[in-house]
Amino acid sequence: MSEPSLPRILVVDDDTELCDLLSDYLGQEGYAVACVHSGPAGLERALAEPFALVVLDVMLPGSSGFEVLRKLRQTSRVPVVMLTARGEDVDRIVGLEMGADDYLPKPFNPRELVARIRAIQRRTERRDPGPGANETLTVGDVELELGARLVRRGGAELTLTTAEFTLLGALLRAAGRVVGREELSDTVLGRHFSAYDRSIDVHVSNLRKKLGPGPRGHDRIKTVRGVGYVYALES
């Protein structure tokens, strides 16, 4: 019997020393790493080959990481972690709004990147399906199939990122009651909530846009200021 193949990670960054470092470190952590050093090459490789995840720098020659992400999201749901310059909050928000699953500011500790990658893997892999794997969550006209990882609104399938799918699942399970940002950060991002981290807020904003208003024109996901979010039930 052949051994299972290692999860493949694509790193798109023009810093060759960083790429070498990540190749060695991620290799020791059980990943197979491929590196490319420009935006066009990164997009071509990400679309041509099956990768478990893409690590994508914002500043790239040829085309920016944002442009690569925009084109990638037209046809691919592969999880993406954006690398942003420290202090560039706008870059982080833009990346998340365009469909990135998470971000990491440079410089970073490779252990933190591994933690982000594994958190995303836990959301996407179903190593032990368990009794609830084929569960379908239904609230109003929205259906979420856990096993098939499908979301439908009024019967029409929606395209969600990994983070958005997990977020919607958490909100639907708790429909009608408030879910705190701390709980959502732990469930969706796999890390403790930070008051300065707007990742959950941006993912909620993206999800609202994709779901659209409810059948009666109401907001499906309501903000409870200073606490978290609630998926509204039909009155």
Coarse DSSP helix, strand, coil percentages of the chain, rounded to the nearest 5 percent: 40, 20, 40
- Crossing angle of helices 110-124 and 16-28, rounded to 10°: 60
Q: State the Cα angle at 86 between 200 and 196, rounded to 5°.
A: 35
What is residue 229's predicted lDDT score, i.e. its pLDDT? Answer: 96
What is residue 148's predicted lDDT score, i.e. its pLDDT? Answer: 83
**For the chain, which ranges sit under pLDDT 70?**
1-4, 86-87, 125-134, 235
Q: Does domain 136-231 have CATH number 1.10.10.10?
A: yes
What is residue 194's predicted lDDT score, i.e. its pLDDT? Answer: 80
Extents of the domains making up the chain? 8-124, 136-231
The CATH class of 8-124 is: alpha beta
What is residue 216's predicted lDDT score, i.e. its pLDDT? Answer: 81
Q: State the Cα angle at 109 between 26 and 6, rounded to 5°.
A: 15
What is residue 215's predicted lDDT score, i.e. its pLDDT? Answer: 83
What is residue 133's predicted lDDT score, i.e. its pLDDT? Answer: 57
**pTM for the whole thing?**
0.79
What is residue 192's predicted lDDT score, i.e. its pLDDT? Answer: 83
- Crossing angle of helices 110-124 and 162-173, rounded to 10°: 60
Q: Which residue has the tokens 């836990």?
A: 122
